[in-house]
Amino acid sequence: MNLIKYIDGTYNSFLSKVFLFPLYIISLIYGLIIRIRFFFYSAGIFKTRQLPCIVVSIGNITVGGSGKTPMAIYLAGELAKKGKKVVVLSRGYKSKNKDIDIVSDGKNILLNPDEAGDEPFLIAKKTKNIPVVIGMDRYKAGLFAIEKFHPDIIILDDGFQHIRLKRDKDIVLIDSIRGFGNGCLLPRGILREPIDSFKRADNIFVSNDKNEEIIHKIRAAGAAAPVKSFKYKPSGFVNLADDTMIEPDKLKNKNILAFAGIANPISFFKTLEGLGIIIKGKMVFPDHHKYNIKDIEKIKTRANSIDCFITTEKDGVKIKDLLSENIVIYALLIDVEIYKEAEFIEWVCGC
């Protein structure tokens, strides 16, 4: 956990810079490789492939969470309300399937979280009548999805770096808490690619409130896309044992233990505190953590002096089948709220 804080810029002492200097050298090499790759695509040496439907990418330029999955769920649902046939296409990070597969056909969920990956499974669970397809090669997976489901629009979940596939709209998200970390590329920092990559974006969203420092860096990098804000809106809690729902204020002033295996647990904890929940303890697991019985038992040992446990939806789908009757765990349900929503949706679908 401390190493992550050194890498993302939370700790930035002289000694940390000295000890992590080898990572800085590797990040320079990584940055050179990234720029050469982009040059080859822009020069036409590497070919970009186009699908015969509208393709909308939702992505970021940092590792870890910035709200891509909630935004994909939100956008898919809003486009479907407009009468558009939508398919969500995901890489299926950490899924057991290495080939193209259908997570949901829009009616039934066909894979479990291990087979699909936690994020595609969550998208499939949260959307109605919207197929979800996974595949490492987005172009081939897109052709498969078009042949199978005939969509008007394909949403690429976490697709900003997949420039092999041409996009009609590139939406890029930034977490206002983490920002760009220490400003370095992987592995010294949290950047997947340089900040000037925002030049490829058509719309940029910053979570919660617009951060003036972030906007300044985006503009200084030469990006002209509009910068807007989006918010995470807690819509309630679901009891993982029986799927019963309660309102967001029902756990106000309750003493809870919060745990998460996501890239940015700080945002999750802040959201709970914003609901008036008293966090008596926190447990942080690695991003995309695959839970087991030992993890649940470890969580249960922290049950003294608390009313219940709370985790994220993404973690919830992975632990649901591991729970026993004598533990109450709620998952926080999150929606996305966007300023001038109708204007944004019409921009996406071209209505």
Q: Rounded CA gap, 312 and 237, in Å?
A: 10
Q: What is the pTM of this model?
A: 0.92
Nearest to 63 by CA among 265, 284, 264, 291: 264
- Residue 157's DSSP bridge partners are 58, 90
Task: Give, for all 351 residues of the chain, the pLDDT tens digit.
Answer: 455 555 555 556 666 667 789 999 999 999 999 999 999 999 999 999 999 999 999 999 998 778 999 999 999 999 999 999 999 999 987 666 678 999 999 999 999 998 999 999 999 999 999 999 999 999 999 999 999 999 999 999 999 999 999 999 999 999 998 899 889 999 999 999 999 999 999 999 999 777 889 999 999 999 999 999 999 899 999 999 999 999 999 999 999 999 999 988 988 999 999 999 999 999 999 999 999 999 999 999 988 889 999 999 999 999 999 998 788 999 999 999 998 888 999 999 875
Q: Rounded CA gap, 153 and 173, in Å?
A: 20
Instruction: Please give the pLDDT value at position 222.
Output: 96
Q: CATH number of 54-230+338-349: 3.90.1480.20, 1.10.10.10, 3.40.309.10, 3.40.50.300? A: 3.40.50.300
CB atoms within 10 A of CB 113: 27
Alpha helices in the chain (DSSP H): 2-8, 14-19, 21-42, 68-81, 113-116, 118-126, 138-149, 212-220, 265-274, 293-300, 313-319, 341-349
- Given a contact cutoff of 8 angstroms between Cβ atoms, the answer to whether 189 and 182 are in contact is yes
Over the stretch 224-264, which tens digit does the pLDDT of each residue have? 999 999 998 999 999 999 999 999 999 999 999 999 999 88
User: For residue 52, how many C-alpha atoms fall within 13 Å in the half-sphere facing its CB?
Assistant: 7
**What are the residue boundaries of the structural domains of the chain, listed by start?**
54-230+338-349, 232-335
Instruction: Indicate the residue type of 346.
Output: E
Write down how long the chain is: 351
Backbone angles phi, psi at 69, to 5 degrees: -65, -50
Nearest to 338 by CA among 160, 80, 87, 71: 71
